[in-house]
Structure 1
Amino acid sequence: MLSPSLEDYLEEIYRLSLTAGTVRVTDISRKLRVSSPSVTKALRKLITYGYITHQKYGLISVTDKGKQKGSFLIERNQTVQEFLMLIRANCDISAEAESIEHYLSNTTIDQFKYLGMFMQNNPDIYKRYLEFIELPEVEQSDIDE
């Protein structure tokens, strides 16, 4: 099982491989705002786990195993971001998703996905939810009256 930090590295390597085609240590270092030695250390571990290949001072390639895991990591991040948008979380969605995604079980992620699909298929219920969360908070003194 990968640590949250290694998941972040693999996710970014996979993202870069999809968009740029080629991936280098400096690309990862810039994107994740970490030092090149930190990237190199993470790459060694990802190579050991069979997720990537890397020639010294050369390009980084994602293995089939790495592509499968990378795809999963991107989908998980997207699901958490969509859930946070769905519930209208008032935060930096990207940062919040990044903070929590590593600590949620796959079944919880699946439930986020199902809730999103349910709300898409039931816009009347989603509208009621939105109306509910925008109600002014009731003060205890209002209840006591």
Structure 2
Amino acid sequence: MASPAIDDYLKRIYQHTEWQTERITPSQLALELGLAPSSVTEMVQKLAAQGLVTHRPYGPVALSDAGAARAAAVIRRHRLIETWLVREFGYGWDEVHDEAEVLEHSISDRLLDGIDERLGHPPFDPHGDAIPDASGHVRREAFVLLAAAAPGHSGRVLRVSDRDPALLRALEDGGVRPGAELTVTDASAVAVDGAPFPLPAGAAAAVWLSA
């Protein structure tokens, strides 16, 4: 059954383990969604009853195969829409998340397939997050969070978190975008394509590099 609320839960659970391995707990899920823990616990129980997640009391939540497939489909919609808005309508990468949150629940499969075709079946969205294909498969490579990268580490920027639009704008001003070559100088600075760049607050926890 189509349900934006269920899709939002599944999407958050899916996203939590894309760039790290620890499964999400109900309390973390409540914080992510801005909901009361009791409401999240009730919904997790409903998702488990529908076979979309696995969960034991007080333990982490994981997607079942059915839940992962449904989450990937929603993620595909969201990220294709973000890419479409940037490429075709001139949106900034800091402006597309909220628009995609609305549109992902309303466009038809036919339109989504047309967007995918027009864009040339992109594997990644403007922030570097993988776009699942129609079968739910994604392309990934080994990565390291900037905060965990040792001084002297060099790699391509693979992904920049889209949670903070102001940080996205600051990083864009410094050339920190997916595909840029970055060398870690120390905990507070990097070199971007050879040019020094002092990291804005929060950047080290929002940028992932090739390992």
TM-score (norm 2): 0.52
Tell me the equivalent position of 1:61. Answer: 62
Instruction: Map 1:1-145 to 2 at 5 A.
Output: 1-21=1-21, 22-86=23-87, 87-89=89-91, 92-117=95-120
Q: CA deviation digits over 1:81-127, x for unaligned, max 9?
A: 11111221478310110011111111111111112229xxxxxxxxx
Give me the identity figure in percent: 26
Check the 8 A contact 2:10/2:68 in 1, yes or no. Answer: no
Could you say what the CA RMSD is over the residues aligned between the two structures, in angstroms?
1.9
Radius of gyration: which is bigger? Answer: 1
Question: Could you tell which deviates more after superposition, 100-109 or 84-93?
Answer: 84-93
Letter in structure 2 aligned against 1:24: T
In 2, Cα distance between equivalents of 1:77 and 1:59 = 25
Check the 8 A contact 2:14/2:68 in 1, yes or no. Answer: yes
The alignment partner of 2:54 has SS state of strand
Greater RCO, 1 or 2 (C-alpha within 8 Å, sep 6+): 1
TM-score (norm 1): 0.73
In 1, Cα distance between equivalents of 2:65 and 2:7 = 16
Unaligned runs of 5+ residues in structure 1 are 119-145
The alignment partner of 1:61 has SS state of strand
Residues paired across the two proteins, number: 118
Structure richer in strand, relative to its length: 2
In 1, Cα distance between equivalents of 2:67 and 2:19 = 16
Unaligned runs of 5+ residues in structure 2 are 122-211
| Deviation beyond 4 Å, 4+ runs, structure 1 | none
Structure richer in helix, relative to its length: 1
